[in-house]
Structure formats: structure tokens, C-alpha cells
Amino acid sequence: MNPFSFFTYTGSITTPPCNEKTIHYVASEPIGVSSTVIALFKEALRIPDLQDPQGGIIVSNDSIMYSNRKIQKLNGRAVFHYDHKKYSCPTFKRMKKPSHRGYGGYRSSKGHYERKESSVTSYFFVEGEQPSGLPGAFVVTEKEAQGKD
């Protein structure tokens, strides 16, 4: 992928639980994509096909969901701009030697692996008595969620 300039800001995801610890990146200039990529995005955003009582597939081309929402107010959020030309962003090039382990891609004969450990815990409020059902989420006390426990 070639370097590009972008805007970034913190916001929220657009589906429940609408967690506000999301970082958005928006390209400063349009990035070209092929018609195949656009078709794949449209397919991914379609409401799932249904099956009729006889087992036949019901396909509707009118069922495309939208991947955007109305413009929201900033509500005090800062928007930052990263200019890849101003900061001399490096261009990454594909290595010439194929990977010997079958992982795909390329790797050099010199180099190393690195690991960066990270641990993040997010708390979010869920309306009602039923747990959200999100994988890995479980109910905690209000004190714990507010950091008072």
C-alpha cells in the first residue's frame, strides 16, 4: 500500500453498544479501487439472502444496506491531519525472496520478529436486564465500570 495522507479522530462505532473508544481514519484524497472491490463491498453490505419454504434462495438486489450515517457534531472532539509528504512517510516495498514457510507474501533473509503486548478493557452501559451477548463481555458492578472498585 502506498503512503497517503489522512484525517483521524476519535468517535464511536455505529452499531450497539456504540462504544466511543473508536479511532476513525479518513483518507484526505480519494483512493482508487476497482469495480470488483466496489461489487464486493456492495455484496458485504447486502441484507442476507433468504430461503423460501421449498429451500430456494430469495435474492434481492434492492436490499443493500448503507455503510454511512448522517454527519455528527464534533462535540468537542479534535480532528487531526497527517500529511505523508510533510512527514516523509517511507514507501514499503515487497521483498524479492518468497517466504519459505508457506505463509504467503515475501520475507527477507535478514530480519527478526517482534511482539508488542497490549491489554485494553472497555466498559459500556447496556439498557435492560439482559447481557449484551457480545463475545468475551460479562456483567460487572457499576463501581468497577466507573473505576471506583
Q: What is the pTM of this model?
A: 0.46
Residue 27 in any domain: the answer is: yes
Q: Is 44 helix (H, G, I), strand (E, B) or coil?
A: helix
Residue 90, preceding bond cis, omega within 30 degrees?
Answer: no
φ and ψ of 142, to 5 deg: -60, -35
The tens-digit pLDDT sequence of the chain (149 residues) is: 678 899 998 888 776 677 777 888 899 998 888 999 988 887 777 666 677 788 777 766 666 666 566 777 888 889 999 998 888 777 666 555 555 555 555 555 666 666 777 677 778 787 778 787 777 788 888 888 878 87
What range does the domain containing 3 cover?
1-109
Residue 116 in any domain: the answer is: no
Contacts made by residues 140-148, CB under 8 angstroms, sequence distance 24+: none
Count of domains observed in the chain: 1
Residue 41 in any domain: the answer is: yes
